[in-house]
Amino acid sequence: MWVDPVVHASECRRFDSYVVKGPRPEDCEFFTGAIGKDEYGRFFIYRGGTGICVRPNRYAFARWLGVPLEPDQLALHECDHLLCVKVCAADAPRQHVVAGDQIDNMPRMARMQRGGGRSAIPSPKFLVDGLACVR
């Protein structure tokens, strides 16, 4: 994904209209637009005449970076707020949205108890001949 502040100026203004900034410099900046069932934001953009839905944190990171993001380059939430879209310089005292890949993301997901929609502990119920049993 690529976000250029000149080429995509109206899109950037629309994105900014959905962002609420905290009062302190270290506070999160929250996306207030569409939010999916998974509690992550959704931002609709057009590229090449095709409409696509993107994650706001990824959009914010691509915009801040100024170069196209590779498909496997993720925008991870270091602050643990799924709607945060604040990107800081590497030397900032508190990080919010940071670069990473899926290898970086897996320990974060485990630490934050997210992902997969599956229980980490198997259910005590199981089926025997079509009947529910308890272990």
Provide the percentage of residues in the chain whose pLDDT is more than 90: 52
DSSP 54-112: E-HHHHHHHHHH-SPPPTT-EEEESS--TTB--B--TTSSS--EEEE-HHHHHHHHHHT
pLDDT per residue as tens digits for the range 16-39: 999 999 999 999 999 999 999 989
Residue 118 has pLDDT above 70, yes or no: no
pTM for the full predicted model: 0.77
| pLDDT digit string, tens, across residues 85-117 | 999 988 888 899 887 777 666 666 666 666 655
Which domains can be identified in the chain, with CATH numbers?
A: 9-134 (3.90.75)
Q: Are strands 50-54 and 41-47 parallel, antiparallel or unpaired?
A: antiparallel
